[in-house]
Structure 1
Amino acid sequence: MHLTKNTKIIILCLIACALIAIIPLATIHDSEFGGADGAAEDAISTIDPGYVAWASPILEPPGGETESLLFCLQAATGSGIFFFGLGYLVARKKYQKSDKK
């Protein structure tokens, strides 16, 4: 199998992106971040001190910054897919018009 230069660059970039996401998850264990979940939990305990949560996370990240990282990755992936699709639709429309002329 022969890989072109562009394919090799893309593979290296994907590996680098994966390492940028995985290394902090594996190495930083005691990170703290006060997000909306913590604020909501504080508000609920203020309103009803006897409240017991009926659901728990399946996978507990090692720290708050990890949650922030995962949220950012989710947002970036979603926006990448959305704008790729939007760009595809615009380009398809543009090139269909030029083929008919």
Structure 2
Amino acid sequence: MNRPPLARQNWYIAIAVIALAIIPLIFVRGKYEGADGQAESAIAEISPTYEPWFQPLFEPASSEIESLLFASQAAIGAGVIGYVIGLSKGRNQNK
């Protein structure tokens, strides 16, 4: 079996990942909302008198800021995970 060079294979994988992320956004129509909002509405439906146990320590000024903080948290987490994986792979190669 004749395999394409590794660089070309990596590009094919990158294109496939991007397509898998974009295609649902184009073809799947619907209301996109977070799990927190869905949970609040489900709890209100089940028990209208429910009172939360805790209040948030920090309430962002807008949903855009909330999204920015969430995306920043995800990016930092991905960076830490990537760093740890790269560090362990480098250590294993040096052995």
Q: TM-score band (shorter)?
A: 0.5 to 0.7
- State how far apart, in whole Å, the 1-side matches of 2:70 and 2:62 are: 13
Residue 35 in 1 paired to residue 53 in 2?
A: no
- State how far apart, in whole Å, the 1-side matches of 2:37 and 2:75 are: 23
Q: How many residues align?
A: 64
Residue 46 in 1 paired to residue 66 in 2?
A: no
* Gaps in structure 2 of 5+ consecutive residues: 1-31
SS in 2 for 1:66: helix
Superposed CA offset, 1:38-61 (max 9, x none): 111111001111111121101110
Paired-residue identity, %: 44
SS in 2 for 1:44: helix
Letter in 2 for 1:58: L
The answer for the alignment partner of 1:78 in structure 2 is: 77
SS in 1 for 2:88: helix
Q: CA deviation at 1:65?
A: 2.3
The answer for the alignment partner of 2:16 in structure 1 is: none
The runs of 4+ residues in structure 1 deviating greater than 4 Å are none
- State how far apart, in whole Å, the 1-side matches of 2:64 and 2:35 are: 13
CA contact (8 A) 1:44 1:51 kept: yes
Structure with greater contact order relative to length (CA < 8 Å, sep ≥ 6): 1
Letter in 1 for 2:87: Y
- State how far apart, in whole Å, the 1-side matches of 2:79 and 2:42 are: 34
- State how far apart, in whole Å, the 2-side matches of 1:40 and 1:64 are: 17
CA contact (8 A) 1:34 1:64 kept: no
Letter in 1 for 2:55: S
- State how far apart, in whole Å, the 2-side matches of 1:95 and 1:53 are: 52
The answer for the alignment partner of 2:93 in structure 1 is: 94
